[in-house]
Structure 1
């Protein structure tokens, strides 16, 4: 019997597609589009990506019991 060593490197991308961002949050894409107030970053050639740090900040804000920042602004406008 031979021993084999696997060298696997997993890299978490900082910038994610909308599908990856929805998967990261753990919700369906359709729902992500409705509830996530994080705006994507415009990259070259019309490509848009979501910054994992922005997603984490948004989730942390929600975990603290705060309403979604966009909903809060709309609520103040009446």
Structure 2
């Protein structure tokens, strides 16, 4: 019986497109847009990307209960 070796290298991207960021957080894109306070970065003109590290910090804040939405913060995201 012949054997074959397969070497696979997987690199996690740090910067995510909107749909990828939504999927990463477990939210639908529509809900992600409304709920996520993390501001995207425009590394290339016309291309908005979300930093995975910033998303992690936001999720950690939500888990710890330190995120409290004010009327102003909600309106800023709209």
User: How many pairs does the alignment contain?
Assistant: 73
1:72 to 67, 70, 73: 70
- Any gaps of 5 or more consecutive residues in structure 1? none
TM-score w.r.t. length of structure 2: 0.83
Q: CA deviation at 1:20?
A: 0.5
Distance 2:6 2:50 in 1: 31
For residues 32-77 of structure 1, what are the alpha-carbon distances to aligned partners after superposition, in whole Å with 9 as ceiling and x for unaligned? Answer: 0111111100122221100001000000011101224xx23737xx
Equivalent in the alignment of 1:45: 45
TM-score w.r.t. length of structure 1: 0.83
Aligned Cα root-mean-square deviation (Å): 1.6
Higher helix fraction (1 or 2): 1
- Any gaps of 5 or more consecutive residues in structure 2? 74-78
Structure 1 runs, 4 residues or longer, greater than 2 Å off = 72-75
